Structure 1
Amino acid sequence: MAVDRLLFPRPETPRVYVERHRVDGVCAHCGAEALARYPVANHLGPRMVVKCQACFHHVSVTRPEPDDHWPAWRAPARDWPSSRVS
């Protein structure tokens, strides 16, 4: 069995998706009240975005907080201070 199958097993659902959480506010681009916050992976690394669901205008892009649990595979020691090996 390959290592990737141990780390990332086959999904049990026919579609893989993330939950989009509604956010209060109005889109500055189109005026719709359809804002949602959800995790994305982009060229800067894992981020949390707030986007208009009507026109997909980016309202904000932030680094995930520990409560966001994103990415799901983040190393437990990611936020530990580094030390020099002597």
Structure 2
Amino acid sequence: MSVDRLLFPRPDTDRVSVERVPVGETCPHCASTHVARYPVANHLGPRMVVKCQDCFTHLSVTRPAPEDHWPAWRSPTRDWAPSRLG
């Protein structure tokens, strides 16, 4: 058995999803108030998006803050200053 299976076991559910938190904004494209913020992983790396859930317009794409806990596997020492030893 490899190490990644020990750290990240197979999910118990058929679908894996993230919580989409409503932000109380209005979409500039379709005027919908169904706008949510949630984490994504894309070619730029982990990001937090604010996106209309009706027309899928991106309102913002930002780097995750430490309180976002995204990505779940992020090293706790990621933001530490490097030492001379590496």
The question of 1:19 aligning with 2:42 is answered: no
Q: State the TM-score, normalized to the length of structure 1.
A: 0.93
Unaligned 5+ runs, structure 2: none
Displacement of 1:15 after TM fit? 1.2
Letter in 2 for 1:40: V
Structure 1: give runs of 5+ residues left out of the alignment.
none
Per the TM alignment, residue 3 of structure 1 is displaced from its structure 2 partner at its CA by 1.8
Aligned to 1:62: 62
TM norm structure 2: 0.93
The number of residue pairs the alignment matches comes to 86
Q: Deviation above 6 Å: which 4+ runs of structure 1?
A: none
Partner of 1:32: 32
Identity of aligned pairs, percent? 70
CA RMSD of aligned residues (A): 1.3
